[in-house]
Amino acid sequence: MATRITEQCIDCGLCLPECPNGAISEASLGHAIDPARCTECVGFHAVEQCAAVCPVDCCIPDGEREESEAVLLERARKLHPARAHELVLSPATSRFRR
């Protein structure tokens, strides 16, 4: 499922450079994640990087958008066609494999 940012966001911006997909943007109140670009960092990291750096734990799973590991990996490959061959599933690149 995509990750979302709650209203507890303090607008610190630490998450912006951490997203490998550029899914995070500034919003009227804090920051927001574009679910069409969020891959939960599958293919890149074993944990969502926005959640890993958030000082107030406001990056949480979006229960409205549950998706499989395969769907998330395919999205990552479409977002990064030049690197698609590098995006693989392993314990280091997917929370599903931990």
Average pLDDT, the chain: 94
State pLDDT tens for residues 14-60.
999 999 999 999 998 889 999 999 999 999 999 999 999 999 999 99
Closest CA to 94 of 41, 27, 31, 17: 41
| pLDDT above 80: residue 6 | yes
What's the pLDDT at 30?
Answer: 87
Assigned token pair, 9: 């966001």
CATH class of 3-83: alpha beta
Average pLDDT value for residue range 56-67? 94
Contact assessment for residue 60 and residue 28, using Cβ atoms and an 8 Å cutoff: no
Closest CA to 19 of 42, 41, 34: 41
**E strand spans, 18-95:** 24-26, 31-33, 59-61
| Rg value, the chain, Cα | 13
| pLDDT above 80: residue 1 | no
Better-predicted residue by pLDDT, 49 or 95: 49
